[in-house]
Amino acid sequence: MSGLSSRKMGAQPPSTSLRFRPSWSVVLAITAVVIFSGSITSIAGVHLPGGTSSVGGQDSAAATQLAAASVSLSAGQGPAGGQPLTCSAGQGIAPAACSSVTPSVGQVGSQKWESEADPQARAGAVMTYDAKDRYVVLFGGFNGSTYLGDTWEFSHSEWVNLSPAQSPSPRANATIAYDSKDNYVVLFGGYDGTHTLGDTWKFVGGAWTQLSPITSPPARMDSTMSYDAADAYLVLFGGSSGSVPLGDTWTFVSGAWTSVTPSTPPSARWGSTSAFDTADNYVLLFGGYDGAHFVGDTWEYAAGQWTQLSPTSSPSPRYEAALTYDTSDSYAVLFGGASRSGSQWTALGDSWRYAGGVWTLVHPSAAPAARQAASTAYSGTDNAVVVFGGVSDGDPIAHPTRESESGRRMRGITGFCWPRVSRCRTCLMLWRTGLCPCPQAEDTAIG
């Protein structure tokens, strides 16, 4: 069994991220309009046309509120105190009355707060880039108490819940990849909390369709699958039957599964990770767990054969790491995973790149918190690697974090941790300058 399915996880509520998109040259004026509805002329160095000045203690209180709000917004943190404010204009010299609420949309001229539903915190979801529909698709996972069966689109730095008419049953630890020859996403297997699964689904045009191939791999979870662009088929390897590790290799093309028998395959394992290395023209596979040990070996798959590689340095042995190919930079990116010493599980947070047969440890200026069972994909629409979800040390998902990247430019988008009840929301940052971390401090903006 994988770490995800065999360890208790704490449930988390659905997440909502709020983003303010101001023109920062007028942020103080906007602050005054939002907080005080134009009831003052000059407070804390902010000058507004018209209105009536408040006096005495009212002026002092108003000045304190406006100063705090100005600092908060200019720092990218949203309204002071970590909560949005709704204000009504005071009468005469009375200051505005403000209260903390969570509006869905609050409009101020051309600026607005937006309430955006993100996928709830989870681990063991599957994610891939749907090249036909030009978005990253995410499915399923486990939120600590429930196996999920929702489908999400990530495109242009935004999440959208697709809600298709039919879907695979709720599950975690399935495997997914885009079949470039057949122009659709393929999902296989997983674990629903009771059984390992062996069904095959395709996803195209926002719709799931269950396939009925004549033969299929045995039911499994925690396998890995990638599209072999050189040989024009999907390659599935390994996984767990629920009790034992598997070491078989299957290909999928034109709706049919075929079992292949390479002469020297990797050892049976689950929780390995793979991606097609476009520059080197082969499927790259790393790591996993063989039922007794974590492994840290590197393999290539090409022309129907597995070949073990011997790089001079490698990531440490681990399983359930996140691996994808960064098309913009022409190398594979591996992040995180987990290892174990005795009964102690350790989530990992290191970042590696792979190119030309060489692993290189990289030290981004910022990185996601350590995690295993995260989901990752390269978004051709956003020109960025996207990392989402996963579980951390101890009681996994007690403090879930999830990050995504928005591509080569920030596009004026700032990620927020919002609100206090849930520590992390979708954060947006450049891979080249490091993945965007969710800070441990609540209500802290990330720029």
Domain termination site, one of 58, 86, 109: 109
Residue 232 belongs to domain with CATH number:
2.120.10.80
Domain annotation covers residue 399 = yes
**Residue 340's pLDDT is what?**
84
**137 and 206 inside one domain:** yes
**123 and 100 inside one domain:** no
Domain annotation covers residue 105 = yes
**101 and 183 inside one domain:** no
Domain annotation covers residue 346 = yes
Alpha-helical segments (H) within 313-430: none
Query: In tens digits, what is the pLDDT along the chain, a chain of 447 residues?
Result: 444 544 433 333 333 333 323 322 222 222 222 222 233 233 233 333 333 333 445 455 555 655 555 554 444 444 444 444 444 544 544 444 555 444 333 333 333 333 346 888 889 999 999 999 999 999 999 988 899 999 999 999 889 999 999 999 999 999 999 999 999 999 999 999 999 999 999 999 999 999 999 999 999 999 999 999 999 999 999 999 999 999 999 999 999 999 999 999 999 999 999 999 999 999 999 999 999 999 999 999 999 999 999 999 999 999 999 999 999 999 999 999 999 877 778 899 999 999 999 999 999 887 888 999 999 999 999 999 999 888 885 333 322 333 333 222 222 222 222 222 223 333 332 232 233 333 322 221 222
**36 and 143 inside one domain:** no
**28 and 130 inside one domain:** no
**Residue 66's pLDDT is what?**
54
Residue 259: CA atoms inside 13 Å, Cβ hemisphere, count? 9
**70 and 206 inside one domain:** no
Which residue is listed with tokens 């208790």? 8
Domain annotation covers residue 102 = yes
**82 and 163 inside one domain:** no
**60 and 208 inside one domain:** no
**Residue 59's pLDDT is what?**
53
**167 and 258 inside one domain:** yes
Classify the phi-psi angles of 299: left when phi > 0, otherwise alpha if psi is within -120 to 50, otherwise beta: beta
Cα-based distances in Å from 98 to 10, 26, 244, 311 = 35, 21, 60, 61
Distance CA 134, CA 205 (A): 10
Domain annotation covers residue 16 = no
Domain annotation covers residue 17 = no
Helix (H), strand (E), coil (C) string for 230-247: CCCEEEEEEEECCCCEEE
Number of separate domains in the chain: 2
**Residue 391's pLDDT is what?**
86
- ∠ at Cα 375 (441, 200), nearest 5°? 150
Domain annotation covers residue 18 = no
Give the orientation angle of helix 56-74 with respect to helix 27-36, to 10 degrees.
130
Q: Are 247 and 266 in contact (CB under 8 A)?
A: yes
**200 and 78 inside one domain:** no
Domain annotation covers residue 70 = yes
Neighbours of 205 (CB within 10 A): 10
**297 and 318 inside one domain:** yes
Which DSSP state fits 443?
A: T
* Exposure b/e, 245-261, CB count within 10 A at least 16 = b: bbbbbbbbbeeebeebe
Domain termination site, one of 73, 90, 109: 109
Distance CA 102, CA 32 (A): 19
**43 and 84 inside one domain:** yes
Domain termination site, one of 89, 109, 129: 109
Q: 136 lies in which domain range?
A: 3-11+117-446
Q: Of 324, 277, 328, whose CA–CA distance to 302 is shortest?
A: 277
